[in-house]
Structure 1
Amino acid sequence: MGLTPESPADVVRRQYLASAAGDLDALRATLAPDVEWTEMAGFPLAGTYRTPVGVTTHVMEALGADWDDWAAHDDTYVVDGENVVVLARYTAKNRVTGKALAARVAHHFVVRGGLIVRFEQFVDTALVRDAMTP
């Protein structure tokens, strides 16, 4: 009997755990080589990033530079085939203003062949902006 392949939700959960641990190599291992990772318009890192290194460099490392204790808390998973929607929370403290951030978010992942091929973020960008404004 072989190993059971990871479910799409398992792959997404592994991504959150790697992010929480600050393990960018493990996080990149969850992403397809041609991943499309979209941060919402109005978010400080708004745009679409491609490649696992592009995602970790322009998103995770950038967040780590601007925020202390940035965390995405994955609370609820809704799965429909290759689509995984995660209702989550961001918590962090802005390094410049010292203000805390607590915002509800939704993340939509598409997982194929055991890798995340697409990600789209939905977040109340006004809360993020408020935490960044002195």
Structure 2
Amino acid sequence: MIEVPRPEAAFAESEAPADVVRRQYLASARGDLGALRATLADDVEWTEMAGFPLAGTYRTPKGVTGGVMERLAAEWEEWTVHDDRYVVAGEDVVVLGRYTAVHKVTGRPLAVRLVHHFTVRGGRIVRFEQFTDTALVREAMTP
């Protein structure tokens, strides 16, 4: 089933998998790491793909925000995840979208497609896996 993201007020308390994922993206966009952590299970496994500058698997909500979101904010200006399309099958949510940003050191812009795969149980994200063109990300980081 394909879903289109709804306005934030429509799903503020919903435990539906797509609504939980959307809350995570909105919290990230606002820089609200507390609200973002609230969408993550205590035993979350968050995997940034091999070749990505933050490659690896992060665990715990604080591990995810400290190891990923805070580092992205430190290295990139206007890091934005555009969550364009949601495909939902039970507890699995696949998001097709884009990253846009400007690298703080090189000044080079980034515009790259992404696929995010989330697993949501009990109203919390328990697993995340990222897919993107890591060569384009590294190119934006290279002087």
Question: TM-score normalised by the shorter chain: which range applies?
Answer: over 0.9
The SS at the match of 1:97 is: coil
Please give the alpha-carbon distance, in whole angstroms, between the structure 2 residues aligned to 1:52 and 1:39. 15
Equivalent position amino acid for 2:61 in 1: P
- Identity among equivalent pairs (%): 76
Which of 60, 66, 75 matches 1:66? Answer: 75
Tell me the equivalent position of 1:132.
141
Match of 1:29 among 38, 42, 61: 38
State whether structure 2 residue 89 is matched by structure 1 residue 80: yes
User: Which runs of 4 or more aligned residues in structure 1 lie more than 2 Å from their structure 2 counterparts after TM superposition?
Assistant: none
Report Cα offsets for 1:73-111 as digits up to 9, x if no partner: 100000000000000100000000000000000000000
Residue-pair matches, total: 131
Within 5 Å, give how 1:35-114 maps onto structure 2.
Answer: 35-114=44-123
1:12 matched residue in structure 2: 21
Structure 1 unaligned segments of length 5 or more: list them: none
Equivalent residue of 1:98, what SS? Answer: coil
RMSD of aligned Cα (Å): 0.8
Instruction: Render the CA deviation track for 1:52-87: whole Å, top value 9, x for unaligned.
Output: 000000000000010000010100000000000000
Q: Is the 8 A contact 2:117 2:129 kept in 1?
A: yes
Deviation at 1:5, TM superposition (A): 4.3
Task: State the TM-score, normalized to the length of structure 2.
Answer: 0.90
- Identify unmatched segments of 5+ residues in structure 2: 1-12
TM-score by length of 1: 0.96
- 1:120 and 2:129 correspond: yes
* C-alpha distance in structure 1 between counterparts of 2:15 and 2:39, whole Å: 11
Q: Distance in 1 between matches of 2:139 and 2:78?
A: 17
